[in-house]
């Protein structure tokens, strides 16, 4: 009976974490970093994708370097990245 209760609590915790991730609660709360597509800055290449990334309290800024993207510049609370090829999904945690 005790093992059943432990398994039930574990399953409920896993389901809650999955639901929170799907609803992007952690990103909106600023706990983890996330990125959104933005338009190209004036005078810059418009053929690829431009991403603006926000810093998360626990994770810091997401890095798009693994996706063959190039860091371009930062603003006080954002980093801007350029990706020559469009990404299939939004970067983040």
Tell me what pLDDT residue 23 has.
Answer: 67
**Domain count across the chain:** 1
Q: Is the pTM of this model over 0.75?
A: no
In a domain, 56, yes or no: yes
Tell me what pLDDT residue 48 has.
Answer: 87
Tell me what pLDDT residue 42 has.
Answer: 85
Tell me what pLDDT residue 28 has.
Answer: 72
In a domain, 49, yes or no: yes
In a domain, 91, yes or no: no
In a domain, 46, yes or no: yes
In a domain, 93, yes or no: no
In a domain, 55, yes or no: yes
Tell me how far apart the alpha carbons of residues 93 and 91 are, in angstroms, rounded to a whole number: 7
Q: What are the phi and psi torsion angles at 68 (to 5°)?
A: 65, 30
Q: Contact at 8 Å (CB) between 83 and 68?
A: yes
In a domain, 88, yes or no: no
Tell me what pLDDT residue 77 has.
Answer: 87
Return per-residue pLDDT of the chain as tens, 93 residues.
889 999 999 999 998 888 767 767 777 777 788 898 998 888 887 888 999 999 888 888 888 998 889 999 988 889 999 999 888 877 765
The residue to which tokens 């600023």 are assigned: 30
Q: Contact at 8 Å (CB) between 44 and 82?
A: yes
In a domain, 30, yes or no: yes
Range of the domain at 67: 2-83
């Amino acid at each position: 009976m005790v093992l059943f209760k432990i398994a039930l609590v574990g399953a409920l915790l896993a389901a809650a974490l999955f639901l929170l991730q799907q609803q992007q609660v952690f990103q909106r709360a600023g706990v983890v970093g996330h990125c959104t597509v933005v338009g190209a800055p004036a005078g810059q290449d418009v053929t690829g994708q431009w991403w603006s990334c926000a810093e998360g309290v626990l994770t810091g800024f997401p890095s798009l370097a693994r996706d063959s993207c190039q860091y371009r510049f930062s603003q006080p609370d954002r980093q801007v990245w350029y990706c020559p090829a469009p990404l299939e999904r939004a970067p983040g945690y």
